Amino acid sequence: MRVRVILQALCVMLPMALAATAGHAAAMERGVAITDPAILQRLDNAGLSLGKLLGADTNSSGAELFALPSMGPLQAATDRDFNSYVLEHRDDLDRLHLFDRDALNAPGTRFALTGIVNRMDRAYVSPAECGEIRLIYRPIANSGSTNKDSPPSRLPMTLNLVMKAKPASASAATCAELARRWLALADQPTTERAAMLIARGGALEWVTRDAIDRIEIDVQIARASADVNDFEGRADYLMKVFRYDGTRFAESPLENQIDAARIRADAKLLADLKRWLLDPARIADLDRGTIVVPDRFLASSAINVTPAHDDLNNKARELFADDDIVTALAKASVNAPLENLQSPAGFVRRLNDMTCSGCHQTRAIGGFHLPGMERPGWTAGAVVAAASPHFFGDQERRRDILIAFRDGRAPDFARGFSARPQARRSTELTGTTYVNGWGALCYAAGGANAVPDKSFASWTCAEGLTCQASGAKDSRAGFCFPKSN
């Protein structure tokens, strides 16, 4: 019951909190993201449509795009996993609302550009390419319809076209120059940004077909309740990644998504994972949030379950004993103090943070981090902000990294937990719903005599607020609410 009460309060009040900070959110994304629907619509029509970048017509339907030879492996693998999910849940189909694949493949459905995100903060993964630029698309049913009885409406899916920030065609450019172009956007009038972005010398000059690295998809494969007042209703999201080899998109492992079931069944693989991950150097990378787990340990598909209030869905946790974790943390801390990993619980949360599913279960909007804002004429939805609290909470850190690139300094790629922005790089966020303010994630110690967990000691609330536990399995999870509530 307590979970239901707190979720009801959050669902009723969080939109108001986000709407109240909409201006603040727009300021936070300056120079690191583009979410203005008017600008995105112009870019969509000016060469950044999904169809154009995949080598098809600008106005190609979803069905036409999936029929492209390069997209064949994506279509086959996604259909396979969808059918497997249906078979696995065949006894629950009477209460599940499955994703409408017929609508996705209807002639009137088109993918619309709903966000562009600078991810040069991921240059630790691909330093030669200066990180990534991500183009986020949503499928729009009845796209272009003027019929008021069947207006354009968004399907619960995002397709993330990940581009190399500096592809081979831009070999003469530098990361510093690219960062300068993005940061300069904040000084340009909104009406001029669309043309500036794709012009010669613009931030998106090199976002062309030869820069494509991969496609990532996140689709709400099923919803367990149609009742809008059922705040404990469950939604499942299928997540997949397909890398581009210049000819086609091939099914690929999800970044840091440890395949716990496969590893548990293979004693040698389990021993290899423990030896690799518990090494002091890897623990330091995990603490900083820059670890990249080798593909041989990873899964190629994941189901992201929302809402999630405990340790999310981290089955990889079962592979490690607490004693092994404590020993590994102690060895790693000899070389340098650990900032985030101070306990087995901190290790577990960080390991989950680094997975695709764990990240999207943390402070997301129904499983998505950038659903995008509605364009004029689309069916009105419930989203009052372009992106999730997790997304906005990370913008200050990402901009700090761009500034370092621009100024010729070595960027600090370290980050805090997904649920709480890094304290030393969140001055703009203090007292907001992202850090310490109403609705912020906090650490509920579990009573006056409980021993605080050092990994979450900084997860506090501002004056006048108190941390109230969600009542979920993980008693550490709480939200900042007024003391009188």
Same domain (yes/no): 360, 444: no
Quick: pLDDT tens for 81-109.
999 999 998 888 888 889 999 999 999 99
- Name the range with the highest mean pLDDT among 58-72, 180-194, 458-472: 58-72
Q: Is residue 28 part of a domain?
A: no
Whether residues 403 and 453 fall in one domain: no
Average pLDDT, the chain: 84
* Adjacent-strand bridge partners of 111: 139
Q: What's the structural domain count of the chain?
A: 2
Q: Distance between CA 173 and CA 375 in Å, rounded?
A: 34
pLDDT, mean of residues 107-114 = 94
* Co-location of 137 and 165 in the same domain: yes
Region 138-167: what's the mean pLDDT? Answer: 87
pLDDT tier at 28 (50, 70, 90 boundaries)?
A: low
pLDDT at 224 over 70: yes
Element containing residue 220 per DSSP (H, E):
strand 212-223
Q: How confident is the model at residue 22 (pLDDT cuts 50, 70, 90)?
A: very low
pLDDT for residue 250 is more than 90: yes
Q: Sorting pLDDT into bands at 50, 70 and 90, what band is 151?
A: confident
pLDDT in tens, 278-319: 999 999 999 999 999 999 999 999 998 877 644 444 566 788
**What are the phi and psi torsion angles at 97 (to 5°)?**
-105, 105
Looking at per-residue pLDDT, the higher value among 14 and 308 belongs to: 308
Q: How far apart are CA 189 and CA 278, in angstroms?
A: 50
Average of per-residue pLDDT across 174-189: 89
Instruction: With both helix axes pointing from N to C terminus, report the angle between 280-288 and 267-277 in degrees, rounded to the nearest 10.
Output: 70
Q: Which two tokens stand for residue 28?
A: 């936070």
In this structure, the answer to whether residues 374 and 437 fall within a common structural domain is no
Share of the chain above pLDDT 70, in %: 84
Q: Are 475 and 444 in contact (CB under 8 A)?
A: yes
- Residues 434, 398 within the same domain: no
List the one residue out of 421, 363, 372, 365 whose CA is nearest residue 393.
421
**364/478 same-domain check:** no
Q: How far apart are CA 352 and CA 474, in angstroms?
A: 14
The whole-number average pLDDT for the span 176-188 is 89
Reduced to 3 states (helix: H, G, I; strand: E, B; else coil), residue 248 is coil
Domain contains 184: yes
Report yes or no: 140 and 110 within 8 Å, Cβ to Cβ: yes
Q: Which residues pair with 306 in a beta bridge?
A: 235
The parent domain of residue 441 ranges over 430-484
Nearest 5°: phi and psi at 67? -85, -10
Tens digits of per-residue pLDDT, 228-249? 445 456 889 999 999 999 999 9
The answer to whether residue 294 sits within a structural domain is no
118-122, 220-224, 369-373: segment of lowest average pLDDT? 369-373
109 lies in the same domain as 215: yes
Question: How far are the Cα atoms of 156, 175, 338, 375 from residue 144, in angstroms, in the given order?
Answer: 18, 39, 53, 11
pLDDT band for position 75 (cuts 50, 70, 90) = very high
392 and 462 housed in the same domain: no
Specify the DSSP class assigned to residue 216: E
pLDDT of 9 > 60? The answer is no
For residues 245 and 162, membership in a common domain is answered with yes
Asked whether residue 95 falls in the same domain as residue 168, the answer is yes
User: Does 466 map to a domain?
Assistant: yes
Would residue 216 count as lying in a domain? Answer: yes
**239 lies in some domain:** yes
pLDDT score of 483 = 84
Which contacts (CB < 8 Å, 24+ apart) does range 85-90 have? Answer: 85/221, 85/222, 85/236, 85/238, 85/303, 89/222
Q: Does any domain span residue 285?
A: no
Task: Report the chain's terminal Cα–Cα distance, integer Å.
Answer: 16
Amino acid at 184: A
* Lowest mean per-residue pLDDT among 41-45, 172-176, 359-363: 359-363
Q: Is residue 20 part of a domain?
A: no
pLDDT of residue 379: 59
pLDDT at 475 over 60: no
Q: Grade residue 323 by pLDDT with cuts at 50, 70 and 90.
A: very high
pLDDT at 1: 41
